[in-house]
């Protein structure tokens, strides 16, 4: 099925929760990020009669309004990641410090237009003299001039990895690493509303939106741009969002109260015949599980296959996105 089902390691997270020893193809289309449209990329072709799996009722209603059918609410991979952490007793949260910032990002086919230097000034003005971590999408992380804008200000600059494309180069523990970072920071902020802020609120961080909003080259009109985000979520567009409101909204948008059981999830995704993990063991170990066992996480986890291959993909070609070992 569609390669976007595997973005950010989503299929691996669902397989882990479902108790599988492998990562089969999802028989349907999985929403791969938070948005104010139908949950999918503009222009996605849907094969007839296959289900569209979305995170929340709000997305399902918008999908129906655009004409999509066979829409099922299953909750977000992020919510299943948090539930899996509860089930397998992963490491306790560290002490929180400082702010992590997620500047609005582009992707392979659209770059961002805006001033990173201006955003640096806004960050320091609002956050004050606290440790600042800038998390760039791989697109911007590989641009030395963008990194330099933040590094010259004394900020720590990281990336969670490469989301993958056409089943290649996927950092299957992208969200594990993001969860670790979010739990280490008191605040999560951005200049545009997106998945990272919703994730941050779900794990107890304070959130905020401010600064140069930036735009994508040739933004898709169907998405409604920043104007639609403000119209739907006006209370989120301020530097300091009330924590209770942010947490309630995140819980709803991530579908944390509509999660399926492992058996239900296997049935819905077409995984009933997939190999299950040995009873009493944790399936598809998470980042913190492997770290706790003394393994060097990023070295070992890179060998977990993407999709349902028996062997991991060959080493990426030099210079390819998957070859950038700094993308951690």
pTM: predicted TM-score of the whole model, two decimal places: 0.83
pLDDT at 169: 79
User: What totals of helices (H) and strands (E) does the chain contain, helices first?
Assistant: 13, 10
pLDDT at 312: 35
> What is the spatial distance between Cα 5 and Cα 270, in angstroms, rounded to a whole number?
13
HEC readout, 130-148: CCEEEECCHHHHCCHHHHH
> What is the spatial distance between Cα 185 and Cα 217, in angstroms, rounded to a whole number?
31
pLDDT at 110: 60
**For the chain, what is the mean pLDDT?**
82
- Which regions of the chain does DSSP assign to beta strands (E)? 29-30, 52-54, 71-73, 99-102, 112-113, 132-135, 156-158, 187-190, 206-209, 215-216
Residues 6+ apart with CB under 8 A from 157: 133, 134, 136, 141, 147, 150, 151
Residues 6+ apart with CB under 8 A from 18: 262, 265, 266, 269, 271, 274, 283
Give the up-direction half-sphere exposure of residue 31: CA atoms within 13 A in the CB hemisphere: 31
Q: Which domains are assigned to the chain?
A: 3-90+256-285+293-309 (no CATH), 99-253 (3.40.50)
pLDDT at 222: 59
pLDDT beneath 70: ranges in the chain? 1, 87-91, 106-111, 113, 216-224, 280-328
pLDDT at 226: 76
pLDDT at 223: 64
pLDDT at 90: 56
Give the up-direction half-sphere exposure of residue 227: CA atoms within 13 A in the CB hemisphere: 6
pLDDT at 88: 62
């Amino acid at each position: 099925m569609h390669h976007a089902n595997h973005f950010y390691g989503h299929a691996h997270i669902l397989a882990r929760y479902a108790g599988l020893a492998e990562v089969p193809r999802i028989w349907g289309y999985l929403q791969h990020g938070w948005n104010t449209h139908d949950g999918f990329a503009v222009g996605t072709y849907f094969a007839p009669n296959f289900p569209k799996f979305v995170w929340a009722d709000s997305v399902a209603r918008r999908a129906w309004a655009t004409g999509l059918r066979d829409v099922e609410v299953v909750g977000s991979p992020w919510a299943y990641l948090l539930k899996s952490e509860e089930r397998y007793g992963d490491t306790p949260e560290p002490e929180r410090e400082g702010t992590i910032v997620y500047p609005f990002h582009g992707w392979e086919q659209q770059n961002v237009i805006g001033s990173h230097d201006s955003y640096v000034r806004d960050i320091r003005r609002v956050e004050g003299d606290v440790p600042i971590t800038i998390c760039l999408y791989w697109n911007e992380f590989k641009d030395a001039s963008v990194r330099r804008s933040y590094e010259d200000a004394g900020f720590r600059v990281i990336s969670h990895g490469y989301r993958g494309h056409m089943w290649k180069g996927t950092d299957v523990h992208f969200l594990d690493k993001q969860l670790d970072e979010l739990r280490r920071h008191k605040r999560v902020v951005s200049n545009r509303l997106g998945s990272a802020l919703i994730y941050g609120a779900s794990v107890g961080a304070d959130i905020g939106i401010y600064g140069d909003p930036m735009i994508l080259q040739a933004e898709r009109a169907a998405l409604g741009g920043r104007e639609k985000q403000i119209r739907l979520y006006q209370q989120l567009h301020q530097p300091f969002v009330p924590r209770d409101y942010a947490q309630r909204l995140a819980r709803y948008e991530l579908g944390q109260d509509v999660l399926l059981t492992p058996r239900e999830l296997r049935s819905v995704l077409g995984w009933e015949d997939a190999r299950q993990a040995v009873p009493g063991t944790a399936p598809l170990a998470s980042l913190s599980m492997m770290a706790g066992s003394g393994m060097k996480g990023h070295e070992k986890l890179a060998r977990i296959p993407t999709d349902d291959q028996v062997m991991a993909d060959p080493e990426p070609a030099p210079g390819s996105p998957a070859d950038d070992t700094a993308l951690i």
